[in-house]
Amino acid sequence: MGSTSSGIQRVKRPIIFDEFFDLGLPESASPFITPSTRHWAVNLPLKAAILAAILLAASFGLLFIPGYEPLSHLLLVAVYLLAGATSLIETLEDLGSLQINIDVLMTLAAFSSVFIGSGLEGGLLLVLFALSGAIEEAVTDKAKGSLSHLKKLSPSKAVIVKDDGTLRDRAVADIDVGTVILVKAGEVVPLDGIVIHGASSVNLVHLTGENFPVPKKIDDQVPAGARNLEGALTIRVTHTSSDSTLAKIVQLVTQAQEARPRLQRWFDKVSERYAVGIILLSLIFTITLPFAMDIPFLGFEGSLYRSLAFLIAASPCALILAIPIAYLSAVSACAREGILLKGGITLDALASCHAIAFDKTGTLTTGNLTCLSVEALSPAGKPHIETALGVAAALERNAVHPIARAIVAYAEQQKAPDIALDTFTSTPGYGLKGSFANHRAYIGRLEYLKEHLTPEAVQAVHLRTQELKEKGELLTLLLLDQEVYLLRFRDTVRPRMKETIEELQQSGRWKLLMLTGDHITSARKIAEELGITEYYADLLPEHKLQYVTTLANSEGLAMVGDGINDAPALARATVGICMGKVGSSTAVDASDVVLLHDDLTLLNWLMARARQTQAIVRENLILAVAAIVIAGTSALMGWIPLWAAVVMHEGGTVLVGLNALRLLRG
């Protein structure tokens, strides 16, 4: 389980035996085992249940070999110790707190079987019970979202600038509002603040999901979690670590996870009522059957024997084991297709969704900028476009932001000439300049090149920039001597994404919409290209969460996203679906479904599998209840012996199990 290693706590002081269990850590974290044997404790409940099943099978087989009956009984005792000791302890604790649930019922039924000479049947109940408990524990651990990746995103220390100009490291948690800190190129901004000195570009992909450099200069606000790409920034802190942008997102994720789901609590209530009802019925039958049916109290025909047989037959083996098998079969089938589901309950939630919301960048699109073309602003520059592209690539090879990577990749694709620069200068947050063979070149924002352009060229650039923005494209400028070149960029749509959207729309089962933090023009372009009619842009994480909450409450929502900014929405949605390859670790932790290969074309298949799973679960419920009723009634009335009732009961378990395995087929 993923949380095992991260859950280990280093305890430097002596620790007593009881204290370790009070910490709630997994067995593999125990300080009482050596590092060389620690791996044996991983998934310990599941390993113990499997070993108990093997011993039970051996015990049953030895009964048919003369002279081995004592060994068979010894193995059966081992089965009860392995599979039943934990259940017995938990049952005694539940009874001590006056809680009666299905766990109590199962344990009571299993251990009571010993008193009526059916120890093997009781052992089988314990093994099945232990297996289902281990499966439930594994699913629960996978379903728990971890915020560790998000918390690691922001540094634990920052460099503060003292009044005399000296620098000193200080823990982020100890820095107050108004403190001046220094963030060097390549570092992550540790706290929200305002730039008071320097200029640079920052990447906000972890906060907004958009992989574009954002220029920052004096008096601009910079959020914690932004990565400084170029020059050094001196920042005056405006929020403490507990009130930073990252802290707010952590809080949003936590609140969203705590808001789901309520279905499990409903199951717990039903389980308690069922367990109490069966136990009370067994007691009532024990007391009343001698008078109602004129049978003795003791003996194989007595009311005690029949009531205990009824208790065993009515234990919900089929419900507890076969239903998880149905979900795990579906989960396994999904895993073969590259879809990771965090628990079978996700399939139920998925089948209840009537709307699907997509993030834009990294989900509907690749998240990487693509250079579309280089065009000359005036006719005189057209013959030199290849040279201009080579110059742009030569300049941008010294930069690290997405635009630089797109230009270099495009130059290699177009086989632009290699240019060797004689000089190179970077102005963080604005642009680059260089020279070669008596030629001067500038690349960057219009503000950077403006002083070198004529008013007519500035006006022409403004007009062209507006046109490209309407198309959802980005623009950067290259000035080569006196000629201006426009380099156009766009975030490209994922392959087969349009066909996938059309398939989802044609099914008529879901309303499709797009939620993005990107600007409206880019969002409109992508939405129109994919045929999505409903979209919302310029959304902050809390705004996106509001839309998701409303849709999840009103009609059930599957949210597809990838970035840290999507993590709260993924956690709050009815079902959160995350892109595994490009998705941030926090988004993966917060989601319910992870597309390991980022293949959104499987959404239709996944929805169909969720509906099929629900259908088989309903069939299993009917079969399991029928098995319990038939076996319990027959045993109670004395129509069949105990072994036949157990065979009918366990036969129902096998039947629903085989029915559930149909979901393993692709």
Active site residues: 359
Q: d(Cα 295, Cα 298) in Å, to the nearest integer?
A: 9
Which residues make Cβ contacts (< 8 Å) with residue 85, sequence separation at least 6?
A: none
Q: d(Cα 527, Cα 518) in Å, to the nearest integer?
A: 12
The answer to whether 484 and 441 have CB atoms below 8 angstroms apart is: no
- The H or E element spanning position 23 is none
Which of 202, 597, 246, 601 is CA-nearest to residue 402? 202
Six-digit token pair at 515?
């939620």
Cis peptide upstream of residue 541 (ω within 30 degrees of 0): no
Beta bridge partners of 440: 435
The answer to whether 356 and 369 have CB atoms below 8 angstroms apart is: no
Q: d(Cα 150, Cα 225) in Å, to the nearest integer?
A: 9
- Which residue has 């991983």 as its token pair? 42
Neighbours of 658 (CB within 10 A): 11
- The H or E element spanning position 437 is none
Which of 509, 513, 530 is CA-nearest to residue 607? 509
Which of 205, 202, 176 is CA-nearest to residue 189? 202
Q: d(Cα 187, Cα 225) in Å, to the nearest integer?
A: 10
Q: d(Cα 394, Cα 377) in Å, to the nearest integer?
A: 21
Which of 46, 111, 109, 41 is CA-nearest to residue 76? 111
Identify residue 506 by its one-letter amino acid code. Answer: Q
Q: d(Cα 666, Cα 651) in Å, to the nearest integer?
A: 26
Six-digit token pair at 361?
């960048």
Neighbours of 146 (CB within 10 A): 17
Q: d(Cα 491, Cα 562) in Å, to the nearest integer?
A: 15
